[in-house]
A and B are shown apart, each in its own frame.
Chain A
Amino acid sequence: QLQLQESGPGLVKSSETLSLTCTVSGGSISSSSYYWGWIRQPPGKGLEWIGNIYYSGSTYYNPSHKSRVTISVDTSKNQFSLKVTSVTAADTAVYYCARLVLRIAASDTRRWFDPWGQGTRVTVSS
């Protein structure tokens, strides 16, 4: 059974860089049918997509964050990582990693996140 686990500091100072890693177990990150994504949830708010990465290193970012976000992959460790630079209080959130499933049908491409990691809470302090 595939599992994802986020890890990284729970407290980051304002203007510094947030760094998180997602470790994938029970399956290979190098599968051709999947992308790997980061999603965050500010306190009391909804879900926000940050970006995705393919095992080859191809990345796709939410334009709202593109200038500050970098997602990378390490296939040898079955991990992918997130870096957010110049953080502010608005970056305080629970950060989730998840597998993005792709299914190409006759007329369209279907995508959904499954499974998700348990999430890691990151607080940006001043």
Chain B
Amino acid sequence: QSVLTQPPSASGTPGQRVTISCSGSRSNIGSNTVNWYQQLPGRAPKLLIYSNNQRPSGVPDRFSGSKSGTSASLAIRGLQSEDESDYYCAAWDDSLNGPVFGGGTKLTVL
């Protein structure tokens, strides 16, 4: 069972906006920034969002992140077929003195 809680699945049609939630606690999301990783089928995770809402170079601005209290969200607008992937949230945990991950959300583009 993962420390951070994500819905196991999400879906949307091309062009739609979808959001994926991530819930934690005071020792992780409540005290530290949130990162999001995209894992395409059969591939390694790739950094998608860091420090709550920052996009690495090369990540389209269709992807955005936000955080409030002990929860965070990833939003994808203008959904495209290539966005079909697993998405993981992560945050440092002060009690663990290490990172914790969500269980992952499988996004399906209908």
Interface residues of A (CB under 8 A from B): 45-49, 51-52, 60-63, 96, 100-101, 103, 108-119
Q: Which of B32, B88, B101 touches A108 (beta carbons < 8 Å)?
A: B32
Q: Which residues of chain A are near B101, meaning CB under 8 Å?
A: 46-49
Q: Which of B's residues lie within 8 Å of A, judged by CB?
A: 2, 31-33, 35, 37, 43-47, 50-51, 56, 88, 90, 92, 96-104
Q: B35 touches which one: A63, A109, A112 (CB < 8 A)?
A: A112
Chain A residue nearest to B103 (CB atoms) is: A46
> Taking A103-B51, A112-B35, A112-B51 as contacts, is the C-beta distance between A118 and B44 under 8 angstroms?
yes
What are 16 of the A-B contact pairs (CB < 8 Å)? A46-B88, A46-B104, A47-B45, A47-B88, A48-B101, A49-B98, A51-B98, A101-B50, A108-B31, A109-B92, A110-B32, A111-B32, A111-B92, A112-B50, A112-B51, A114-B56
Give the number of residue pairs across the A-B interface with Cβ within 8 Å. 65
Query: Which of A51, A118, A119 counts the most chain B CB atoms within 10 A?
Result: A119
The minimal Cβ–Cβ distance linking A2 to chain B, given in whole angstroms, is: 12
Tell whether A116 pairs with B96 under 8 Å between CB atoms, given A46-B102, A46-B103, A49-B101: no
CA distance A61 to B44 in the complex (A): 22
Flag if A63 contacts B96 (CB, 8 Å): yes
- Select which of A61, A63, A113, A117 is within 8 A of B99 by beta carbon: A113
